[in-house]
Amino acid sequence: MEPHNINYFESFFSEREVFKIKKGSRNPYENIPQPIREDGAGATDLGPRDVLRDIENPDMLVPPKTDAGTIPNLKFSFSDTHMQLYHGGWSQEITARELPISTTLAGVNMRLTPGGVRELHWHKQAEWAYMILGKARVTAVDQKGRNFIADVSEGDLWYFPAGIPHSIQGLEGGCEFLLVFDDGNFSELSTFTITDWFAHTPKDVLSANFGVSEQAFAHIPTKQRYMFQAEVPGAIETDEVLSPYGTVPQSLTYRLLQQEPMITSGGSVRIVDSTNFPASVNIAAALVEIKPGGMRELHWHPNNDEWQYYLTGTGRMTVFAASGEARTFNYRAGDVGYVPFAMGHYIQNTGTESLWFLEIFQSKRFEDVSLNQWMALTPKKLVEAHLHVGPELMDSLRKEKAPVVKYNERTDNS
């Protein structure tokens, strides 16, 4: 099953059937989780609380014994963001304002209706995008006057370098996508837009710049439009615009789901960075599937922080921060997770459906270090002396029998 093929609402409500108050029972609240460990640590919580939220976060309500320290929050849900509604669609964002630890990347979830337009604009930051559902037409022009027009669909990516003007328009059926920017303090509401610039330029200046009368600008918008409704575009050939300087030499889009995945016993992975998507010089990513009962093995990343977006399913992640600190979080579709630079972590599927998520980095290359691989390639006696483990573990590592999702080697598909 691909990451977008799921009935989100059916999944959402069926999972909440676990919360039922049993009327007439000696303990009518026996299905309500309590912050009590099996060893008796903790106590009941009888005060005001959000029980449904606690059901969604069992490992945050009752943390594993191995959790310790004061690691900051590494989770935020798009469901808790401010929704911006427009004629033509909506947008919501998670930046360092919502998730303060997220200093390297910020994310925007956006929906466009059929014909809905994210107006002509540009950013100080690079824009990387993953199409979740539907189709859109994207356009761009680079600093040498070369243009780019393409249609994107489910599972496709696009990348617009910082400062490059572009637009997005929903095609038949509309679309929903994730935008990621290479600055945690970015805000989608502070972009440079063409209508905003026109509205704040004197009409006599516009007249002189374009060589037409001021009357040509009599009906321009008086403020930024940001997003608006327009007609659904026709075939892409009808939007073709020939530039005397040609087209952008490197494709600004990439069909990620057409990449042959690396299949493992625990799931699959598709990796994309500047080696197979050359335009994407500052953002690298992996689309990961973890099957029920599987896990993304214990590992860390030696190049930058990790920003995660969960597409389907439920999972949990423990982050190890050194100095005796570790903290566990639960994630589900629509959540953003974050792992600071070099911190060890794993991701485990806790549900009955495949867990799909994106792990994204402010980097030109995707890099990770596997704990399993490190141990397997270190002298056996040295590892055993450190951990007091028997030969069974080392033999298992060297035979690579562990049911984990690994991707230290890969096959790129440009």
> 372 CB contacts (<8 Å, ≥6 apart)?
297, 298, 397, 400, 402, 404, 406
The answer for residues whose C-beta is within 8 angstroms of residue 6's C-beta and 6 or more apart is 312, 353
Measured between alpha carbons, how far is 405 from 167 in angstroms, rounded to an integer?
37
Q: Which of 273, 277, 294 lies closest to 285 in space, CA to CA?
A: 273
Residues paired with 253 in a beta bridge:
158
Return the structure tokens found at 185: 């303090």
Sign of the C-alpha dihedral, residues 32, 33, 38, 40? negative
- How many C-beta atoms surround the C-beta of residue 145 within 10 A? 10
Per the annotation, the verdict on 359 as an active-site residue is yes
Beta strands in 236-283 (DSSP E): 253-255, 262-264, 267-272
Out of 359, 367, 384, 409, pick the active-site residue. 359
State whether residue 395 is helix, strand or coil: helix
3-class DSSP assignment, residue 75: strand
Catalytic residues: 359
